[in-house]
């Protein structure tokens, strides 16, 4: 089983990001991302397998020692090889450090095969559309739609989650940061 650690936004920011995915679906371009039934998030780490109880306990201890912090979503982009459209946070050294600390706290779990989520290789992004199986023209139209409608967002990072990477995604455990 594959698992991920996700960083979640405040409800208003989540809704603004979800709205862009819903617009792509409403235009008949792609529903695949919405079909996964996942919340808008940044993936911090992926694991080939975990003991859910042990990982949840470690994640809870980690989250209790952290506080919510500002999230600025400042740009959009795409992975053209996999036809993924995403929004990107404005990165700070603190965010990179937070991701490194997540990996340190969960070092006992297997990250083999997930190199792009390791510290110093991480490209943080919030997926808006998964279009690998959609026609190329739909990908271009969805990209144009996001470019037209995206507006910079200021919110908060509020919680961490452990999810099973299944279809649809299954939230195993969610914990607020600090006292949020």
Residues of the chain with pLDDT under 70: 1, 113, 179-180
- Rounded CA-CA distance 28/23 in Å is 9
Which of 137, 136, 156, 140 has the alpha carbon at shortest distance from 148?
140
Does residue 79 sit in helix, strand or coil?
Answer: strand
pLDDT at 53: 96
- Rounded CA-CA distance 122/131 in Å is 21
- Rounded CA-CA distance 138/5 in Å is 30
Q: What is the CATH number of the domain that holds 157?
A: 3.90.1140.10
pLDDT at 23: 98
- Judge whether 82 and 37 are in contact, CB under 8 Å: no
- Rounded CA-CA distance 45/119 in Å is 9
Sign of CA pseudo-dihedral 26, 88, 174, 45: positive
Domain count of the fold of the chain? 1
pLDDT digits (tens, 9 = 90+) for 133-144: 999 999 999 999
- Helical segments of the chain, H only: 11-26, 32-35, 52-64, 93-105, 136-149
pLDDT digits (tens, 9 = 90+) for 100-118: 999 999 998 887 767 888 8
pLDDT at 13: 98
Whole-Å CA distances, 16 to 123, 139, 151: 21, 20, 9
Residue 17 domain boundaries: 3-176
Tokens 């990209």 belong to residue: 143
Whole-Å CA distances, 66 to 61, 153, 175, 177: 9, 22, 11, 6
């Amino acid at each position: 089983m594959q698992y991920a650690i996700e960083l979640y936004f405040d409800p208003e920011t989540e809704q603004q990001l979800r709205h862009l995915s819903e617009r792509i679906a409403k235009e008949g371009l792609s529903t695949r991302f919405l079909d996964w039934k996942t919340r808008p998030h940044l993936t911090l780490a992926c694991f080939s397998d975990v003991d859910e109880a042990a990982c949840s306990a470690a994640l809870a201890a980690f989250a209790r020692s952290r506080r919510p912090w500002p999230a600025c979503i400042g740009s959009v982009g795409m992975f053209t090889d996999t036809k993924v459209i995403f929004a990107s946070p404005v990165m700070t050294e603190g965010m990179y450090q937070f991701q490194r600390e997540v990996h340190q706290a969960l070092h006992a779990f297997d990250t083999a095969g997930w190199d792009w989520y390791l510290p110093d290789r991480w490209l943080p992004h919030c997926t808006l559309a998964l279009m690998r199986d959609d026609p190329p023209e739909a990908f271009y139209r969805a990209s144009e739609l996001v470019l037209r409608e995206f507006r910079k967002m200021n919110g908060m990072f509020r919680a961490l989650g452990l999810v099973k990477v299944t279809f649809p995604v299954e939230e195993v455990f969610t914990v607020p940061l600090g006292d949020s």
